[in-house]
Structure 1
Amino acid sequence: MKHVIAFDVSMGKSYMVVYNALKNCVFEEEINHYRTEFEGLKKKIDELAEGYGEQPEIVFEATGVYSRPLERFMNENQYTYCLLNPLEAKLQCDSLRIHKTDKSDAHRLALTHFTTDRRKKEDSGELLHQLKSLSRYYSELDGELSVIRGRMHKVIQLTFPELEKI
């Protein structure tokens, strides 16, 4: 492993750090989730890949809708990356965490990446994303329908208390 790039993702921005193989921080910067700044990030990653002959390891935490622009950028450029569950990232970084800030979280993610075996995120395709979204929507509607049926049953029982005896 030559380099590790770690991101701490926040709303609309990320704090990025780059560590070399000697576990020294060689670059850190805050980037906003804009197309122009992602183009600069692409240049930085491509420079590291060309200079050392392999793509750097990329790691960041899944933070719901906040990390989606960064995920989309990685998928569009066919970069392999490790997407961490927030609980998993917390457990891995707890031993190193002193003060929790965006800056320190990015450094901790990068440092733990050298010692922790993490699986790469595989792009499952747009169809699977749509199916997952539709499944969540169906579950939400099914839950609402169950609540409405319960309310309707209660109203019918209050309106016609003798209905079940007929």
Structure 2
Amino acid sequence: MRTVFGIDVSKSTSNVCVLVDSNKVSEFKIDNDLIGFGRLESALNSFVDPEVIFEATGVYSRRLAYFLQTHHLSYAQLNPLQASKEMDGLRKNKTDKNDAFHLAETQFILNREKTRLQDPIYSELKDESRFYQEQVNDLVQEKNRLHRILQISFPDITQLFSNPSGPMYWNIVKTFPIPSMVDVYSIEQLTEMIHEFSGNNVGVRTCTNLAKKLVNLSKTAVSSVSIDSLVIEQVKHLATRLLEISQWENKIIKSMEKLAKKLPELEVLKSIPGISTVTAVSLIAELGDIRRFRTTNQINAFVGIDLRHYEFGNYTASDRISKRGNPYARKILYQAVMAMVSTSRYQSNHINDYYQKKKQPSQHGTKKIAVAAMGRLIRTIYHLVMKNETYDYEIASLARH
């Protein structure tokens, strides 16, 4: 006798359909809380080796998955794309009840494998990674806002650094949001303040040069607001906000690194030239335990760089990546490839060798070449993690031929 529980998970409730040898024996609805999950557990315990199948619905299904994991109950979790492909032909009348029934019904035909349970560290890393990505996005928005408002209060201050960004710059902007506020300080006082803003990590001579440059910029700058304007407070607020976001970014990365140190793949990824600690922990967070994938093609699909081919009659479209996978992982992998290319002058790596070989002469754009390089990087990471080996350029170079 084979028993399957099909569960359609919504925001606050879940529909459960129980099939025994393809025959419906029970159907009920539960709240997504301890009482509802307790009822589900009692129903599961009334059968021998029941199979549980449900579709991943973002944060809502996380609660169900966590409950099943902590109660040592195995399950098969489908990603939305997979569920759509497998059940669209059956959904003549799409309701939560029908979805639960069809999930259970198709399990008897498709025999989906149980989801491999990951160490809880991966889930925590993913949550922190998403928090980090939010801070990165907020940082970009606030930087743009600050740059725009500085064009009104103190436009020339953006020339103080070749790259007007970072805590040192934001502290200076926060303290001197308008040119007239520079005039009340001597070069020595400004030097001391800038040195403090740098965290005492920049030499006194450099700070003195910056102080002199700031004074010169303040003498030629034209502000279109008075010192009493609310715009000045806005500049201070934005600079403070940027400093806070920067602190949060550092705090999250330190937390992620502390978690990832418990996993053997951290040192494996860090051994690859061009992959920093931030990139390594971010990749682990978004890819999860890649040992759960049987092939690198599955990882490509998970990331969304698997190719889509289209032919109709005599027309053949150019192959394109699906972009249906994890956009965060895709972005991090792209940045990793670009970092490996830019740092290759110091540390050789086979990804850059491949990139440069394809780049010239080539009819393909740099983005297509980068995507192909991302595929190679995935194969490299997968091999190293599965073998628990660190990167070796000579071995990697031989393997590519």
When normalised by structure 2's length, the TM-score is 0.37
Alpha-carbon distance between aligned partners in 2 of 1:147 and 1:12, rounded to the nearest angstrom: 33
Alpha-carbon distance between aligned partners in 1 of 2:148 and 2:33, rounded to the nearest angstrom: 52
Cα deviation per residue 1:108-133 (whole Å; 9 max; x = unaligned)? 11111122243322222322222111
Alpha-carbon distance between aligned partners in 1 of 2:52 and 2:47, rounded to the nearest angstrom: 12
Give the match for residue 51 of structure 2. Answer: 57
Cα deviation per residue 1:71-115 (whole Å; 9 max; x = unaligned)? 122111111111111222122110111111111111111111122
Task: Decide which of 86, 89, 94 is 2:83's aligned counterpart.
Answer: 89
Give the match for residue 15 of structure 1. Answer: 15
1:80-159 map, 5 Å: 80-159=74-153
Give the match for residue 210 of structure 2. Answer: none
Decide whether the 8 Å contact of 2:30 with 2:39 is kept in 1: no
Alpha-carbon distance between aligned partners in 1 of 2:133 and 2:32, rounded to the nearest angstrom: 31
Alpha-carbon distance between aligned partners in 1 of 2:135 and 2:36, rounded to the nearest angstrom: 39
Give the match for residue 276 of structure 2. Answer: none
Give the match for residue 252 of structure 2. Answer: none
**Aligned residue pair count:** 160
**After the TM superposition, which of the residue ranges 138-147 and 38-47 deviates more from structure 2?**
38-47
Give the match for residue 47 of structure 1. Answer: 46
Deviation of 1:162 after TM superposition, in Å, equals 6.5
The residue type equivalent to 1:155 in the other structure is: I
Deviation of 1:148 after TM superposition, in Å, equals 1.5
The residue type equivalent to 1:91 in the other structure is: K
Alpha-carbon distance between aligned partners in 2 of 1:138 and 1:104, rounded to the nearest angstrom: 38
Alpha-carbon distance between aligned partners in 1 of 2:86 and 2:143, rounded to the nearest angstrom: 45
Task: Decide which of 65, 68, 75 is 2:69's aligned counterpart.
Answer: 75
Alpha-carbon distance between aligned partners in 2 of 1:58 and 1:18, rounded to the nearest angstrom: 9
Call closer, same or farther: CA 1:106–1:144 in 2, change over 3 Å: same
The residue type equivalent to 2:41 in the other structure is: K
Give the match for residue 223 of structure 2. Answer: none
Alpha-carbon distance between aligned partners in 2 of 1:143 and 1:69, rounded to the nearest angstrom: 27
Decide whether the 8 Å contact of 2:18 with 2:26 is kept in 1: yes
Alpha-carbon distance between aligned partners in 2 of 1:113 and 1:38, rounded to the nearest angstrom: 22
Alpha-carbon distance between aligned partners in 2 of 1:35 and 1:151, rounded to the nearest angstrom: 45
SS where residue 48 of structure 1 aligns? coil
Deviation of 1:5 after TM superposition, in Å, equals 0.7
Structure 1, gaps ≥5 residues long: 50-54
Verify: 1:32 aligned to 2:36, yes or no.
no
SS where residue 67 of structure 1 aligns? helix
**After the TM superposition, which of the residue ranges 138-147 and 125-134 deviates more from structure 2?**
125-134
Call closer, same or farther: CA 1:151–1:99 in 2, change over 3 Å: same
Give the match for residue 4 of structure 1. Answer: 4
Alpha-carbon distance between aligned partners in 2 of 1:161 and 1:36, rounded to the nearest angstrom: 60
Which has the higher relative contact order, 1 or 2, with Cα contacts under 8 A spaced 6 or more apart? 1
When normalised by structure 1's length, the TM-score is 0.84
Decide whether the 8 Å contact of 2:7 with 2:100 is kept in 1: yes
- Provide the aligned C-alpha RMSD in A: 2.2
Deviation of 1:40 after TM superposition, in Å, equals 2.9
Alpha-carbon distance between aligned partners in 1 of 2:128 and 2:146, rounded to the nearest angstrom: 26
Structure richer in helix, relative to its length: 2
Alpha-carbon distance between aligned partners in 2 of 1:68 and 1:43, rounded to the nearest angstrom: 20
Structure richer in strand, relative to its length: 1
Give the match for residue 197 of structure 2. Answer: none
